[in-house]
Structure formats: structure tokens, C-alpha cells
Amino acid sequence: MCGIVGILSGTAKNLEYQIWSMLEAQHHRGPDDWGIWSDEICALGHRRLSIIDLSEAGRQPLSNEEGTCWVTFNGEIYNFQILRQELEGWGHGFRTQTDTEVIVHAYEQWGTACVERFRGMFAFGLWDQRRRRLFLARDRIGKKPLFYTQIGNSFLFASELQGLLANPLVPREVDFTAIDAYLSWGYIPAPKTAFRNVYKLPPAHRLTLEPTPSGFQIQVERYWSLTYLPKLPIGEEEAAEALREKLTEAVQLRLRSDVPLGAFLSGGIDSSIVVGLMAKLSHRPIKTFSIGFEEVNYNELAYARCVARQWDTDHHEFIVKPDIFPILPKLARHHGEPHADEASVPTLYLSQMTRAYVTVALNGDGGDENFAGYERYRGNQMADWIHRIPGGGQTLKLLTHILPDSPDPKSPLRRLQRFLTGIHPSITERYSRWVGYFSETQKDKLYKGDLRELLTKKRPEAWLESLFEEVKDLNPVEASMAVDVQSYLPFALLVKVDITSMANSLEVRSPFLDHEVMEFVAKLPSQMKLRGGTSKYLLKVAFKDLLPTEIPRRRKMGFGVPVGEWFRGPLRPWLPDTLLSKRSFIGECFKLQEVNRLLTQHLDRQVDHSLKLWNLLMLELWYQELLTR
């Protein structure tokens, strides 16, 4: 796991000097070593976190035998040993034991189609001197990030926005259409970023660039997508056996490491299964790491301990306390653009604790998206049934005006309110209301006149509608799952994990996100994922022997954070100064009386606005960290 950078330029001088500043901004991603290579128009840089082949032979950038093809790589190719054997059969020679070298020879053998053979998480930049071609690629699910920009006749790429912005060529101009999307979803979907003319390479995409006399010829294309149809003609027993085999293999592949490894353990089904499989596949006790809160409704440590006891793990815990304001600017800086997942806070602490013991950790990410684990999937199923009943939707809509509001986001009343608020005939509208932060109406109230006029014709809902249009042949449950795989999963959840773990020089691996596991599960019958009111049905059947009896029966808690209470308590003195200053970014763009209304209602316990306020807080801190320094 590493940090990568690169520059391709027709006229720029001192490319290695520019690369160095970009590398240093990503030191945390690879503190063990660094390397730079350049020719007359291209320079590549690499910060190394040593995982496999710890010798100097693993230093990057790395080339083929002739030195005509160079790569800088971030991630892991889990099937590299199989690919290496195949490539050796084609006559390719290897000098190292790294997975990086496989990328170079796979490109020589199969061209840009090589990414379709890789099983893993990756982002890389490869310079082909013979063809004068720059080739960038990103893994199927979006585990590893990759940003790029073109400034005049220079093309730059990096693992993080911090890396790009360290180059003085890159202007820091806010893209307000991206900020509009952020207010809606809490993240900025690819290819946009918060900065104009700076882009994310989307997951499962490759980019080729060739210099021409008039500039650059750039092509971006998708090379993979997850399909749910046709369904496999398979029974429950056979499906459970096949799932067990595939997930066990995915875990085993991710145990390959030349440095110590462990596991994040939340006490939920997904991480508990991963820990159980690790324990069965390992010859020594697994190191497990869990995080909790003083607030009882958010604390899952008791369940994590239950799993740790069953497998006799070397278990470690950390309690997150509400004195978090000093770390929030650090979070904003590492993200590089506004990101509103409040679980970044505990994940940062969890990664920090874990890194004190190991360099690699496995987790349970992807279990919910594969097996219908989120409540919104069941909510979509119920909403679809209700709207099939004449007058059903109207009856429930009336209830939204009768039920009192609850300031407690964990209460059953609040969950019912959220369901009723989102119950709409359109699946796109339901999804928006359940996962969104600010609606279009709420944003209109928030924006000052000039900004509202600018954004009126460029609203983010069209993007979401296009995602649901792609999966219109699926039932409401699987349509929502498919959209999550293309939106929430790569742009919110995986960004959070990558940024917070790599800020602590920790590599995180996710067996449930193995693309072969995902392809198999996607084509299973829908009722094997959500059966009646039971989510993750087949997962619980296939791995019941690995789970303590308390785990499958418990209600899903999610990685929630008590920011609402923190805002009313220890963080209360900070909020007015940060959110209501006329000199702030928020004060410049938004109506402060509307921001003050949200804040007052929340502090007085009239309405829970914790997620909206967190969204605004991280937006302001991003601006302070990235655009005022």
C-alpha cells in the first residue's frame, strides 16, 4: 500500500523536483521508502509502505527488463503468483518477488486489457516509452483512489488530492456544482472533485493518454461492471457451500503478507465471519481491534468481545471520547475535499490503534452491499408493496403529519419517521430521502441568491436517476444494492477507510469486496439475501458455525457516531464560531439565518439536525484547511 504520483509534460522542466513535493505531501501513505524515475517528458514517483518483498528489490517505480516500461503502483494484486507463472510461460523474466512486477509484464503481454486479469485493489500509473503512452487504472470497486488533472500541456496524477495540490501548477478553484452534490450526498461522485479541472478516475475505469503535436489524446473507459442477471439456478444448500468456499478463498488470499496483520472487529456479522475464517486459516492467535463509545446506544464492544473470546484472539479496544475537535482539521486535510461520513472519526482512531500492532488489517466492508444488510433495502421492499395497495402511499403519508418528531436518531420512532418521510412511488426519490443530507428544497433555502441561480440547472439528482435507470430491470432491493455499489460504497465508505487508514500508514483489505465473491453473490436469487424480514439470510446460514449465537440475532447497529450529543455537549462552544462567522466559507455562500435555525433547533432538541450540521462543519473545515493556507 503506497502513494503514487506522476507528471507527463511536453515543456516543463525540473520534473523530478515537482514530483518530490507531490510525494512528500503523501509521506503518510508510504513511510518506508521512496523512489523517483524520469525521462525527458515523464516522471513517476512512489512512497512505499512495505508489505510484500521487503527488500530493496521491491522499490518503485519499477520497470521491465529493458527499462522501456515503468510503473508506480498502489495496492495489492492477490492473484499475482498465478499470473506470474502464466507470464513466465510466455517467456517473461522476473527480478523480484513483488506483485508490482507482474503489472509491467501483464501490460506487455495483454496491453491495457491486463487490468481485467487482476484480482485485487489497485491504482497505478504506467509509462510505455515505446508507444509514448501513459496508462492509468483503478480497481473494480474503488478501494484505491486516483486523481488527475491537466494544466496546459502538463498532465498530473496522484493517490490523494494533497499530492496534486502540492504542485504549484494546480490552481485551487472551487467547483460549486461539486459542492452542491456534496450537500446532497455527503460525498462528491467521480469524476468530479471539489476543485475545478481536477478529477477522480472512477472505479473500474482505465485511462490512456498519448502526447500529440496539439496536446494530449485522452481516453477513459469502463472495463467492468457488476451484473445481477441472469440468476443462477441454484438451491440454498449448494449456494451456501459455494459461498463458503469463495469467501474462505478470498480471506486466504488476503492473509499473504510479509508483515504482521490483524482484523477490525465491530461485533457485526461481516467482521465476525472474517475473524472466524482468519482464525481457522491461521496457526497463531489473530490480533483483533475494536472501537466503542461512552454512549451506550452506539457501543458494540460487548459483541466484539464475544467474538474475540470464541476465537481466543489477541484483542484490543479503544473508547472514542467527544474531545475530537482537534483532529477534525486533520481529517479534512487528508480527505482533500469535503466528506461527511462522521464514522471517519472512529475509523481514524481505530486505524491509529491498529497500526501500533500490525501493518495490515482485514475488515468486513462490503457485506451489507452484497447481502442486503442496510435497512433501506428492506424499506424499499416494503415501500414497493405499500404502493401496490390502492391508497397505501397516501395513508402512510398522512402519518408523517401525525407522528411527533424525535431528537434521538437511534429511537424506533425516529426510524419510523425516516421510513415514512422517504416513502415515495419513485425509488430514486426514496433513496435520495433515506441516504441524503439536504434535499433540493432545503438547499434552495440555504443558498444565497447568486449561488442558487448558478446551480439551478445543474442539480445532482440526474446522476442518481441515471444509476437507477441502468438497473431498472431489477427488483427494488437489488436495484438499491446495485446503486450503492456505484455510489455510496466507493465514494463514501471506501474513501473513509482508505483516507483514515493510510493517514496512519495502515493497509486495510476487504474479502467481501473480492470481485469474484461479488459476482457470485450478485447472481444469487434475491430471497437468499433478504428473506422476509431477515437480511443477510444466506450469509447467516453458510457461516452459522462461526458466529456466536448472540451475533445473528442482534439488530444491526451500524457504525454510528453520537455527533448529535457531542454538538449539544463538548463541541457546542465550537459550532457558532465555525458555522456562523460572516468571514467563513459558509457565511460567504449560505444564508446564516438558515444555518442558525438548524443549529438552534438541534441544540434545543426540537429536531435532530446532527448529520446536516456535520455536513456543514466538514465543508467549512475543508475550506479552511485547503483554501485559506
Q: Which fold has domain 2-222?
A: Glutamine Phosphoribosylpyrophosphate, subunit 1, domain 1 (3.60.20)
Could you tell me the pLDDT band of residue 358, with boundaries at 50, 70 and 90? very high
Dihedral pair phi/psi, residue 447, rounded to 5°:
-70, 145
364 closest CA partner among 225, 483, 223, 514: 514
Where do the domains of the chain lie? 2-222, 236-371+494-553
| Residue bearing the bigger pLDDT, 550 or 144 | 144
pLDDT confidence of residue 243? 98
Q: Round the average pLDDT of the chain to a whole number and report it.
A: 91
pLDDT confidence of residue 69? 97
Could you tell me the pLDDT band of residue 354, with boundaries at 50, 70 and 90? very high
Each residue of 278-303: pLDDT tens digit?
Answer: 999 998 999 999 998 877 677 789 99
| Residue bearing the bigger pLDDT, 420 or 10 | 10
Residue 104 pLDDT more than 90?
yes
Query: Can you say whether the dihedral through the CA atoms of 587, 589, 592, 598 is positive or negative?
Result: negative
Residue 267 pLDDT more than 70?
yes
pLDDT confidence of residue 555? 65
Which of these ranges, 56-60, 351-355, 603-607, has the smallest mean pLDDT? 56-60
Residue 489 grid coordinates: 460504497
CA max distance for the chain:
74
pLDDT confidence of residue 1? 64
- HSE-CB at 210 with a 13 A cutoff on CA atoms is 7
- The DSSP annotation for 282-337 comes to -SSPPEEEEEEESSGGG--HHHHHHHHHHHT-EEEEEEE-S--GGGHHHHHHHHSS
pLDDT confidence of residue 446? 94
Residue bearing cell 443558498: 447
Residues 6 or more apart in contact with residue 374 via CB below 8 angstroms: 368, 484, 535, 556
SS (H, E, C) 175-188: CHHHHHHHHHHCCC
Q: Are 526 and 475 in contact (CB under 8 A)?
A: yes
Answering whether pTM is above 0.85, one says yes
Residue 397 pLDDT more than 80?
no
Residue 25 pLDDT more than 70?
yes
291 closest CA partner among 219, 354, 218: 354
Which of these ranges, 16-30, 43-57, 276-290, 496-510, has the smallest mean pLDDT? 43-57
pLDDT confidence of residue 271? 96
Mean pLDDT of 426-448: 90
Each residue of 225-258: pLDDT tens digit?
Answer: 999 999 999 999 999 999 999 999 999 999 998 8
- HSE-CB at 412 with a 13 A cutoff on CA atoms is 1
Report the length, in residues, of the chain: 629
pLDDT confidence of residue 456? 65
Residue 611 pLDDT more than 70?
yes
pLDDT confidence of residue 382? 83
Mean pLDDT of 170-184: 95
pLDDT confidence of residue 13? 72
Residue 412 pLDDT more than 70?
no
- Rounded to the nearest 10 degrees, the angle between the axes of helix 476-486 and helix 515-522 is 160
Q: Given 3-state DSSP classes, what are the helix, strand and coil percentages for the chain, each rounded to the nearest 5?
A: 50, 15, 35
Which of these ranges, 36-45, 58-67, 444-453, 533-542, has the smallest mean pLDDT? 444-453
Could you tell me the pLDDT band of residue 137, with boundaries at 50, 70 and 90? very high
pLDDT confidence of residue 557? 59
Q: Are 585 and 620 in contact (CB under 8 A)?
A: yes
**Burial of residue 278, with CB atoms counted within 10 A of its CB: 0-12 exposed, 13-18 middle, 19 or more buried:** buried
Residue 585 pLDDT more than 90?
yes
DSSP state of 98: -
620 closest CA partner among 199, 329, 197: 329
349 closest CA partner among 386, 308, 319: 319
Q: Which CATH architecture has domain 236-371+494-553?
A: 3-Layer(aba) Sandwich (3.40)
Question: 342-381: b or e for each residue (b if 16 or more CB lie within 10 Å)?
Answer: bbbbbbbbbbbbbbeebbbbbbbbbbbbbbbbbbbbbbbb
Could you tell me the pLDDT band of residue 457, with boundaries at 50, 70 and 90? low
Residue 391 pLDDT more than 70?
no
Q: Are 448 and 591 in contact (CB under 8 A)?
A: yes
564 closest CA partner among 529, 601, 589, 530: 601
Could you tell me the pLDDT band of residue 220, with boundaries at 50, 70 and 90? very high
pLDDT confidence of residue 119? 98
Distance CA 479, CA 42 (A): 43
The set of catalytic residues is 2
Residue 541 pLDDT more than 80?
yes
- Helix intervals (H) in 112-235: 161-165, 176-185
Could you tell me the pLDDT band of residue 38, with boundaries at 50, 70 and 90? very high
Residues 6 or more apart in contact with residue 616 via CB below 8 angstroms: 579, 586, 590, 595, 598
